[in-house]
Structure formats: C-alpha cells, structure tokens
Structure 1
Amino acid sequence: MSGAGRAVLGVGDRLQFDGRSWAVGGLQGVRVRLVDDAGDAQVLLLAHVLASPGFELLEAGPSPARLDPVGLIDALPATVLERARQWERHVVEVQTGLPPDAPAGVRPREPYDPARHTLAQREAVKAAELTEAGQPTSAVTVKRMRLRYRSEGLWGLVDHRATRPVSSYGRVDDRVVAAVEAVMVTETGESTGTRSRLRHRVEQLLAVEHGPGVVPMPSTATFYRLAAVMDAGRHTFGEATTRRSLANRPARPFTRAVAVRPGELVQVDTSPLDVMALLDDGVTGRVELSVVLDVATRSICAAVLRPQGTKAVDAALLLAKMLVPEPMRPGWADALAMARSRIPHRRLLDLDARLEHAAARPVIVPETIITDRGAVFVSETFVRACARLGISVEPARPGTPTDKGHVERTFGSIRTLFCQHVAGYVGPNVTRRGTAAATEAVWSLPQLQELLDEWIVAGWQPRPHEGLRDPDAGGRVLSPNEMFAAAIAAAGYVTLPLTGTDYLELLPVEWRTIGDHGIQIDYRHYHSPDLGRYRHGSSGVVGKGKQWEVHYDPYDLSHVFVRDHQCGGWITATWTHLPMVGQPFADFTWRAARQIVAARGGDDTDETAVARALDDLLTRAGAGPGGDARHQRVAARTRAAARPIPSTPPADPEEPADAEEEGQDLPLAKVIPFGVFEPGDERRYR
C-alpha cells in the first residue's frame, strides 16, 4: 500500500480498487463503504479491500480542521490577502459547487454541480474560467490550491513569497557573519575598541580559517551596519564594565527571587558611598556602605558606614545591628517611632520588650543570607558568626550580580533618594562629579551614619516600593513597613536577643600564650591582673595547649578580651603602653606607626618606639591640616571608626498607657541604649 505508509483508511480518501477509482464514504468496524465517481456505492470488508492486488491509495482525505493563524493573516499586505480570498472563493466553488457567500437555496452552476460532474471535471472548468478571465491557470494548479486549502485553510492559499523572513544581515556572506560573532565574543573581556579594529580582526580570522581573499568582505559602510545589528545587547563599542556585566547574564530567562516571610531570604553587599565624608582633621575621603536587605519586605535591616577597606568584623557587626531594634535618637521626630508606624507595635511589644522605644525599622532574623564572594563575607569571622546564630550563608556565583540583584538595585535607590541630596555628593563616577565635590563635604562619618539611619526610618521604610504589591487590593503598592506588618500576620514574629557577650563572640579571634609580660599581638603586649594565675598555663582546649582564645576589635586595639577557659566569662586586658597614647587606635594606625619607625632607621618591632611614633602621629595629625596628609588620613580614619554613635539622651517622662488608643500625641520616645552600638562598653563583660 502506498500513500505515506498509512495503516488504515479514512473518510474522504480516494483509492484504486478493482480497476476503478473510489472514495471512502464511511467506516464501521471492519467494513468500509466505497463510492465511485458515478455515485454507485458498495460495502466491503476492509481486509478484503486492503489485500486486493490492484489496491492503491490515490489521495488522502482532508486532515482534521485547523484554525487559521489569525495573527499572521492580519499582518499580510492587503493585496496578498485579497488574492488569497479570491482563491478561497474559487476553491470552495470547485469543492462544493457553491461559493462561500452563496444565498440559501441557490443551485450550483451547471459546470460545478457535484451531482453531474466529477471533481476533476470541475477543476478543469475552473482553470478554463480563470484563464479566460486573464489569469492563466491549469487544472493542476487548481487541484494544488484545493488541497492546500483543505489542509491549511486560508493560510495555504497565501502567496508565501510575501511571508519569507528577511535576514537581519542582508546579503552578507554567512562566513563573515560567523567571524564577526566569534570576534565580538573574544572582545568581551578586552578594552573597548573601534569598528575598524573589529573589521581588521574579522579579516584576519577569515584568512586563517578559509584562506586569504577566499571570503569576500562587504564594503566598509555595509560592515559597519552589520556590526551595529550584531552588537545589539552586547555593548561591544561602549563601556567595558557594562559589556562584561551583560555577558554575565544567565542564558535562561530572569526569574525573581521569591521570599514570602521576613528573613527567609536576605541579601548583603558592600559598595562605596557616593558621598565624601569630612574627617576630624579636615581630610575628606570616600566611605563604604554595607547594607542588609530583606527580600520579602524590601526592608533595610541594617546599614553601616566605614572607612574604605571594610573588614570581616564590620560584616559581623552588621549582623549584630540588624538583630537589635533601632533606638530613637535625640532630635528625631516622634513620628519616626515604631508606635506611630504601620508596624503593629503594641502586639509585638508583648513578644519583644526591646521594641518599647524603638524606631520604625523592623527587627528581622535572617534564615538565609546571600553574599558575594568578597573576602569580607567569606571570612571565618563572618561565617562563624552566621553559624553561631543559625543563619545559612549562600555565596553568589562568581561574576553573577543577578544572584543578589535586589540589594544591588537598592544601592542605586540610595544614591538617588539619599546621596544626591547630601553635601559632598560625588556622583556614581568621575564623569558626573562636580569640580568642588570634596570641598563641599561638611559631614563627619558619625554624622553621616546618623543621617543615613534617620533616612532609612523616615525615607525608605514608609515609602511605597514598586516591588511590593497587594494582590487582594487591586495591586496597591505597599511600603516595606506595610509589607512587614502583613507578612508577620501570616508567618509570625521571630526574636533573637543579642547580649553584650554575643558582641564579643562576633569579634576576630587570635590564639596566644600568656607569658610573663601578658599577651603579645603584632608586637603589642596586653596585661591584666586576672591573667596572672594563668601565666605559662594550659588553656585546657584540646589541640591548643598553652594557647588562649583572644578576641580583639580592629578599630580599638587599646584592649583585648580573653576567654577564661577555666572559670568562664571574659578577661579584659589593656595595652601596656596605652598611657603613652591616651586614646583608642586602629590596626591600620598601628601599622602606619611601625612604618614611621622603620623609615627612621629604627626597629619597628620595638613596642616603646612604635608607641612614641603612634602618639606623635596622632598628635601632629590632630593639630590640623598642616601635617603630613597621609598621616592625617590615618588618624582621621581611626577616630571615625572608633567614635561611638550618641545613644543616651536625657530621660523623658513615661508614656501614658492609653495614649496610643486615644490618638493623643506621644512624647519623644525614650531611648534605651544597646550594647552593640557601644563597642567600648563591652569591656565590662568578663
């Protein structure tokens, strides 16, 4: 049996049987009804017909009805569509005897009457009619159009020369297109070049792969047009940073990071702040901003400013800050209190007493933190702190900023909503920087931190965010505080109190022995009377022998904290040369003092000499801008990093218990300081 290997017959099929042409009129079980061209019919066994020596499938019947591609038909030129509709009238008349729009009760024209003429005869008549009308057509063409209409509908009658896709590359040789594609890929990581360089490299590649002169190059103008078309979405001739960022996009479609409860997914990152800060001695410099963002509510859980060169301890302290409420500060409007916000303050107060005088910034305990692969966030200090707090850390894939796109976008929002309104704004790059940006800086780092904290409470948390919409309220845009209130109503509120001892646990660790002169770290000696009984003794920690666990704050090296493995608690040890300096200092300040001693030909391991140089450095730099600029900057960074944020205002009268219910104006919230904001106070914990 011929005919595309069909296993069975279908109604409408035409076949050769017993020396005659038949059409399949019906099928029932194992029987088939055959009708010849004269209208005579007979019912036979299907197996008998298929096994007949003269059986042959001449023409398959119509395929199941299929809808016309309406969109493609509507896009056709008017002349092409009109010609297809004319062919539809002719084909339908040949098939049924009547045109599509024939009125009811009208009889077919005599040459197209199916009761008197066969289908082949009707096709021949239609071909002669069209030829006579000035459209030369053969019966074979009419039959072909009829079969197309039966299988594809009106779309099968369209002249598809008008629907052929047009190449975006014109008539340029495909080998040239492939070479341009290959060269553009190799230029992703290179410095940006011109189109003439691209043309030169394409010519070289074609000569290597196909031989010199084998592949014809298009004209310069045509090549430049080709390069412009193929450069779409690549940024080959633009900024290199943008090109690399675009190349890092995943091949699959972008999908949103989905989080339905506060803390389920938190993203953290550090970026330079686009504001110059004024340090104590008048030296201005850029600072770095570290942000923790909750994806579910878009709340900025914590934001910390530090001098450039963020350390692992800064990331650990960032965790500590997000786990405690933001206290109300002196001078803040009472409208910034959590009691006045959309957050259900009175209900949460029953669960967490720390919220009594807190500002309107949610306290969110993270479950999973997405970080980049910077040294700060993959450090032992940060990972250990997260592990101790029960937080899962997931580093983003290398070179894939889209893994933490929410916090990346937040930096842009902070630039436009906060930074550009602050004195000393420098813009995102040097091309947008003003001529006097450095001289306009008037805020110190602690002051800038206070401004940022106040803006987060007043400008970010109550501001509607386009990424937060309520599907039950017609897609109304919600603020982070409103989203937090809705989320905790469904998911609940989780607390994780952080004590002063927890702060010490977040500090970096060194293991040191306790000798006659106390503990030595980087040629500095620390001692305390409580260490006397442990001199040259074992800590009792398996594998550490006589080494003891020492925690230190890189921004205040005047004290270290030793874990008492024998009696429990902590022992605060003071630097033995602290009276020579009289003020806190950071690790980078100590290194600068050692470099001064070494530059003078002295011994940079001599603790006394380095202490004198350190005191001299801080004294000279603190006197004003007349000293060495580099030393001024070191001293200013030390003060900026070590200065605590003001936290304890005068006591306010107690808040009336029924003020919130009666809608009365509440007094300024009473501020309760938290130890995490006062690193120096943690020395009291032992």
Structure 2
Amino acid sequence: MTAAVAWDLSPGNEFVVNGVPWTVEAFQPQVGKVVLVRPEHEAWKTSVRQLMHHPNIRPSTRTRKDLPAASRGRQPKGVLDLPPSKRPLVMLRVDHLREVETGFRSGDPLNALPGEPKPQYDPNSTTLTERRHAKVRELRQDTIRNPDLAAAHCLDKVSYRTLIRWDLDRRRFGPVGCADDRWLREATGRQISAAVREVIFAVRHETLHRSKLTAKDRERLIHQYVREEFGKDEPVPSYETLRVVWKEWFGSTGARQRFAVSAARAQAVATGRHVVVSRPGQVVALDTTVLPVKVREQVFGDPVSVHLTLALDVYTHSIVAFRLTLVSDTSVDVAMILRDVMMPLPMRPDWGEEMEWAYPGVPGSVIAEFTDGKVAGLPFFAPETVTTDHGSVYKNHHLIEVQRVIGATIRPSRVLRPPDKQAVERAFGAIQSLLFRILPGYQGVDSSDRGIDPESDACITVAEMEHLIATWVVRTWQNRRFGSYYSSCRS
C-alpha cells in the first residue's frame, strides 16, 4: 500500500523521469499540455495523459510542499527502510487505524472478521472522535492485562493525539507514516578525509592555549588551514559536520578556557591508572584556608584573621593534625604539622577519659610509656605520601629536606583538579557547618552573608580557638559516623 500523492504541475515544480530530473516550465490546463525543461537539453513538450501513464515518473522530493523541510531533497521513507522486525508492528498500527476509520480491521466490509464491526467502532452509530476514544480505552485495558505484550507491540502509550498523528501521517506517507522515526535506518554518517582530520587536530592544538573561540571561528581557521596546506581543491565538510565531529572527538566546548586547557594537559600525561588508598597513612592531604571566624590576638586583643592548616588521612578521614597561624603559613609551619602527624597528641587537663586513646591493637599503656603521659584518641603515623596544592610554601629546599628525613613523598595535586584534594576540602566545609557557624565572630561565606560587625563580636583568643578545635576534633569528629563511608549494615 502506497500513499496517493497529488501532482502539482505549476511552473517550478520538479519531476523525476527515468531517474532524470525535469522542471515544469509551463502548464496549459485548458488543453492538457505540459512543457518540461532541464539544463543543456531541449524542452520536452508532452501532455498530462502521457505523464500520468508514464511507467517511471514521480514528483521530486525537492519541490514537494507536502513533505517536511527536513525530508525535501532526500529519498522518501518507505516500508522497506524499516527493519523486518518492525514492519509487523507498523501494519498492526494500520489495522487499528482502519478499525477506527471504518469499523473493520481490513478496512473492507467484504473481508470482515467475526464480530465486526464492534459496537464501539460502528460508523453508523458512532462518530470518529468516539471511535478514537474507544480505541484508546481498548489499548489501555490491553496494557493492564498484558503489559509486556503491549510494550513489545509499542502500543502501551497510545493517546488520542497519537491516533490523530498516526492517521495524518498515514494519509501523507502511507503505512510508514505510522512508524517511529527511530525505527528507520540510520544515516550513513559523516566522512572526514585524512587531510581534514589532520587540519582539525592542528587547529585544536593551535587554539588550545588561546582565548575561547566559537565554532564559527574554528570553522574559518579550518578553511584557512586547508587552503594553505592542501589547496583550494580539497573539499571541506559543512559547518554542522565540523561542529558535530569536534564535539565527538574533543567533547563539549562549554567549559571555561582555563579548565579546558587544564583538562587537555591532564589527558596528555594521563597513565590510565588510579591511586587506590587502601590503608591508614598511605595518603595524607594538606591544605590551608583562612579561618572564617575572627579571633583576638593575645598581646593587644585586636580582632585578627588566622590561617587554619589541616592534615587529613584520606583513608580514615581522620584529622590527624592542624595548625593555626596569625599570618600565612610558611614551610616551617608545614614541617611542624608533619611532625604533629607522626607524634601522639597528649591529653589536656580538661579532657575526660572518653577522649583517651582507645584504638584496638595497641594498648594505651604502651603508648603512654614512650610519651610520659596519657594520649588522646587521635591517630598518628609516618605518612607515605603527602598531597598538597601548588602554594609556594611547598616548593622550597627546606621541605625537600623534611621529605628526605621523614621518608615521605610530597606530591602536588594537578592544576585545577579539586578531586585530587576533595577529602580535605569536604573536611573544611564540614568543620565550618558543624562548629564555626555557631561561634561569635563568624564572618559568613561571603560579604552578603556577613554580619554588621563580626570584628566586634570576636571574643575568642587564638589559644582558646586552638584548644576549642582540638577538643572538637578528638571528641566529635573522631567519633562521628559519616554517611558516605559508614557501613550500610547498621544495627
């Protein structure tokens, strides 16, 4: 079954005769005469009767106004374009449309099935709208009774508007109009010559370190490069093809240029292997941030800002050491915090027994023998690898000597790669939300959240803040269950 297509013989429309395109130059309906022309050929004067009975003629899709714009100039879709497994599904949809239209699955009263027409589909007693609503109810009931079969037939989500759309497309394109466009055969794809491929990679390498360019800018550079290297005879794909190929090969271009450059550099040196942290002390992450709470210095009592440096064990997420400095930290401060990582934290006078060493495997009495006192419940070990950022305090000879003495490896994280130190970044955010926000002198996350005068609210000294953080780390942080890492098998 094929759709009947009305011929438009107005001047300018095109017909394909024996595989050759001809354009209508003139049409005289009063005498049934038509004049067809094509470049470098004599005009073909014929009649409408001869055209109608020609064995190999069809309207060209380039001038058919009944086709969507995307289908003009292309081979019309047909049933043969469908996979063999989808053709019965299309004909099943056509049968449903015939039953809605005529009351008979075959569309012919002479070939009626037993019980046809059904009362809800009888054209003599129902309207077309009523029959369509009845068909929707029937398909929904079939879906409830056998959802798997309905899904296999692709009839489980049919609505009233779906039936109208199928019917209109069937009248325009034939049975294939009822098919899902995703069932049609895939496009043949794009072809990129070796020369154009070389040019695309050259333009990528050239523009990576420059400011961000649009797809149109890259297209102009590709055309320029092709003309200079391969001459004007080398064909260049269209803009849309270049845009799609660029996205397939290099990913989306929506990122900021600095992040795109960083990602390209990381990809160039990537080994394909990932570091798996499997034991305590294997990786310790160091980072420094400004304390979001104003404190008072101990000499003159002025409100000041201090820097907080954290050392976090990546495996256990334990804060194994921290340090407060009035000014920005130095390499000496980094060396001291590494020393604190390897030394046990002594108990303080106001700390109770619940904060003492309580780790299995090593009794607290053994630890107390070489520390001359009780030890708080904070891990200590010799770190194997220390991950830092790219601050100047980590790039000096003093820290290199510290690295040699303690036998650790200090490695900077990748540029613009926060996941390399995401554990310590999350720790900063957790401490801020769990502790710092409720303290007087808290400055907020930015100037919009800042109070009227956080400096005047500051009442905690640097020493008191250090003691408060140490108490909170040992008592709260070390005993806190983290949802992302705690076992799901909870009692």
TM-score by length of 2: 0.48
Q: Which has the higher strand share?
A: 1
TM-score by length of 1: 0.36
